[in-house]
Amino acid sequence: MAQALMNLISAPLLAQAGRAAAGAAPSMERARTVSDRAADALQYSIWAAVLYIAIGLVAVLVVVSVLGLVMSYIERKVAGHFQCRLGPMRVGPHGILQSLADGIKLLFKEGIEPGHGDKVIFIGAPIFSITATILLLAIVPVAPGIQVVDMNVGVVYIAAVSGIGVMGILMGGWSSDNKWSLLGAMRAGAQMISYEISLTIAILVVVMFSGTLRVSEIIESQQQGWWIWRGHGVAIVAFCLYLIASTAELNRTPFDLPEGESELTGGYHTEYSGLRFSFFFLAEFANLFVFSALATTFFLGGWLPFHIGDYEAFNRVMDILPPVISPLFWFGTKCTVLIFVLMWFRWTFPRLRMDQLMRLEWKVLLPFGFANLILAATVVLTGLYFFPTAT
Amino acid sequence: MTTTTSDQANIESPPMDFGDLKSQCVAPRPSIMGRRRSLSGILWLSAKGILRGLLTTLSYFRRPSTVVTQQYPENRDTLQMFERYRGRLSLIHNEDGEHGCTGCQICERLCPNGSIIVTKDKKNEATGKPALDQFIWRQDTCTFCNICVLVCPFDTLEMTGDFESSVYDRRLLVFNLNEYAGPTADQLEKLGDEELAKAQMKPMKKYQGPVPMCGGELDGIPKLDTGKSDDA
């Protein structure tokens, strides 16, 4: 038993040692993610691999639940500041117990299923919704090594998996046996599928610049400077496209037509109550973090500090934080700023009409995205961007 | 914007009166797409508009006190709702407590969802004319459409600013609006006899006045057991 335990602990170390002995160049080796460690451990003991998978799963679930609590609190506070409302000041000092109180309230609410609805799909929809979020969270690179899985087709994975969220909403709306839910779900389907194209096109610009689909390599390619300023206007336009499209993907104002509480009495989640309702919102808040984190990764250099090419003195000042804190600090700061910007949008812009929404996507964003993509290709081929030797 | 030759911009609307809020209706601004603009012009205009909106809300974010928001539960004592606000329906009573409702039932007939029930005496003994018995208003089904106020030929109804009406039982939202069952103020004046008028205004029923009909028997509304007998 003790031997087995020892094996369990030492397995990944041994595997690593073996890999080093095999002569893999240490400078080329990526930081090892949870899935890498699990794969290494699999050579030695299946239980060690299971342990690592469990660690990854638990970490993601903890992140989802903590995000749900923290984000709803931040959202309330930001909204309260924008509108001078004292609402989120009452429960606990500065309202910090508000999210907890909300959670307890939702726990005790009755889970109602519509009588003529499709019960199985109805129950499955919120789970689908949150599954998409969890799958996306798995690829979010927080810091070197703090990432569940880092696959070589990361960007394709992101584009594929973010589509599952639409399924959850469509299922919820369809199975509710309610015209508002159905209308909300149809709007959601039309909106999210349309904007996914623009989102992917915006990301493709960065893929072209960095020449890789692997998320961690995209970050590493920004060692000399973040793509948003190294790629000139092309990257800035792509960033704006990404910001707009991800707002629509997140169903946040000004693109919150699937909910549309004033015209659809709640949209696709009209019939949901209690925990099932909160699952939808947990997914939405976690998605807010995921899309900000991905924007950080693609355009703002992920966990990397602000560097300018070869200017050693400047770069050293930026590297002043110890290597353990530095990635978390930079990633956290960039993410927080982006999340704030998305919340800022919410309390600034009025909701669009459905035809305006569709026109914006198909007649404005998509042509601009394609033109920008072609322009980006030209920029990459001619090496017109800053520090082209870095890639 | 000001140099536009569009016809729309020359339309001048008269000032409109919104109760306390004095507002002038401004002619609609020419739309971005209405005039022929270059692509860069449209982009520039859009970006400018978006940025201006964002900066406005950011200034609110930095100084929340500049936002005009009523701090509601704190200002309960001083809160004045707007004149046009449609809160509770109420029967207007003058300083002597007399109302002007003849029980003509126009409001009942025109109420879109049957939230008003007016019952009347066929013939009041003192005046010899029909008089109001009960003016029942069901707030639980009312949509506050204001039609009853508009159609009343005697201007005896109004929507008050009273909006705090949350209760735990919807049967508590059925009100009797008249303070007494009897003739209108005009008819009481015509009587000439003050003693007789006073007698006419004496409460004849148990649930008189603008109180919830929580103890009253009414068709379709079951009697509510409040546990507090008749004082509710």
**Over 50: is that where the pLDDT of A294 sits?**
yes
Contacts 24+ apart (CB under 8 A), A361-369: A361/A191, A361/A194, A361/A195, A361/A197, A361/A198, A361/A248, A362/A194, A365/A195, A365/A198, A365/A241, A365/A244, A365/A245, A366/A197, A366/A198, A366/A201, A368/A237, A368/A241, A369/A197, A369/A198, A369/A201, A369/A202, A369/A241
For chain B, domain boundaries: 88-203
Q: How far is CA A66 from CA A71, A73, A100, A136, B215, in A?
A: 8, 11, 11, 16, 50
Chain A residues within an 8 Å CB radius of B66: 84
pLDDT score for B231: 45
pLDDT score for A390: 46
pLDDT score for B2: 42
Nearest to A330 by CA among A286, A338, A35, A64: A338
**Over 70: is that where the pLDDT of A298 sits?**
yes
Q: How far is CA A147 from CA A23, A76, A188, A369, B99, in A?
A: 25, 29, 30, 30, 75
Give the C-alpha separation, A203 to A197, whole Å: 10
**Over 80: is that where the pLDDT of A86 sits?**
no
Mean pLDDT across A320-326: 80
The confidence band for B80, taking pLDDT boundaries of 50, 70 and 90, is: confident
Place of tokens 């240490």: A26
pLDDT score for A80: 85
Q: What percent of chain A has pLDDT over 70?
A: 91
User: Are A84 and B64 a contacting pair at CB < 8 A?
Assistant: yes
Structure tokens at A183: 């209308």
Q: What is the ipTM of this complex?
A: 0.73
Taken in order A227, A232, A238, A240, the sign of the CA dihedral is positive
pLDDT score for B10: 46
The confidence band for B30, taking pLDDT boundaries of 50, 70 and 90, is: low
Nearest to A81 among B50, B54, B64 (CB): B64
Q: How far is B160 from chain A (nearest CA, A)?
A: 25
Nearest to B57 among A80, A85, A347 (CB): A347
The more confident residue out of A2 and A133 is: A133
Give the C-alpha separation, A30 to A205, whole Å: 23
Other beta carbons within 10 Å of A66: 12
Q: In terms of DSSP bridges, do strands B157-159 and B89-91 run parallel, antiparallel, or are they unpaired? A: antiparallel
B192-226 confidence digits (pLDDT tens): 777 888 887 776 665 555 556 655 666 666 666 65
Mean pLDDT across A348-354: 85
* Maximal CA-CA distance, chain A: 69
Q: What percent of chain B has pLDDT over 70?
A: 71
Collapse the DSSP code of A153 into the 3-class scheme (helix H, G, I; strand E, B; otherwise coil) and give the result: coil
pLDDT score for B1: 39
Chain B residues within an 8 Å CB radius of A85: 69
A182-217 confidence digits (pLDDT tens): 888 888 888 988 999 999 999 999 998 888 888 888
The more confident residue out of B66 and A364 is: A364
Collapse the DSSP code of A151 into the 3-class scheme (helix H, G, I; strand E, B; otherwise coil) and give the result: coil
* Closest residue on chain A to B56 (Cα): A348
**Cis peptide, bond prior to residue A93, ω within 30 of zero:** no
B88-97 confidence digits (pLDDT tens): 898 898 888 8
The confidence band for A335, taking pLDDT boundaries of 50, 70 and 90, is: very high
Nearest to B61 among A82, A85, A349 (CB): A82
Give the C-alpha separation, A70 to A48, whole Å: 32
pLDDT score for B212: 62
Give the C-alpha separation, B15 to B25, whole Å: 6
- Domain B88-203 bears CATH identifier 3.30.70.3270: yes
User: Are B64 and A83 a contacting pair at CB < 8 A?
Assistant: yes
pLDDT score for B157: 92
Q: Is the pTM of this model over 0.80?
A: no
Give the C-alpha separation, A10 to A243, whole Å: 44
Chain A residues within an 8 Å CB radius of B54: 344-345, 348
Mean pLDDT across B154-178: 85
* Closest residue on chain B to A82 (Cα): B61
The confidence band for A20, taking pLDDT boundaries of 50, 70 and 90, is: very low
The more confident residue out of B206 and A300 is: A300
pLDDT score for A23: 43
Overall residue count recorded for chain A in this entry:
391
Give the C-alpha separation, A105 to A109, whole Å: 6
Mean pLDDT across B107-126: 87
Nearest to A82 among B50, B60, B71 (CB): B60
**Over 50: is that where the pLDDT of A321 sits?**
yes
Q: How far is B103 from chain A (nearest CA, A)?
A: 38
User: Are B64 and A80 a contacting pair at CB < 8 A?
Assistant: yes
Contact B207, B181 (CB under 8 A): no
**Over 60: is that where the pLDDT of A97 sits?**
yes
Residue type, A4: A
Give the C-alpha separation, B114 to B220, whole Å: 12
**Over 90: is that where the pLDDT of A176 sits?**
no
The more confident residue out of A202 and A224 is: A202
A58-69 confidence digits (pLDDT tens): 888 898 888 888
Collapse the DSSP code of A323 into the 3-class scheme (helix H, G, I; strand E, B; otherwise coil) and give the result: coil
Contacts of B109 (CB under 8 A, 6+ apart): none
Give the C-alpha separation, B130 to A75, whole Å: 60
**Over 90: is that where the pLDDT of A337 sits?**
yes
Q: What percent of chain A has pLDDT over 90?
A: 15
What does pLDDT average to over chain B? 76
pLDDT score for B20: 57
Mean pLDDT across A31-45: 81
pLDDT score for A31: 72
pLDDT score for A111: 80
User: Are A78 and B61 a contacting pair at CB < 8 A?
Assistant: yes
Taking the Cβ of residue B71 and every Cβ of chain A, the question of whether any pair is shorter than 8 Å is answered with yes
The more confident residue out of B229 and A29 is: A29
The confidence band for A28, taking pLDDT boundaries of 50, 70 and 90, is: very low
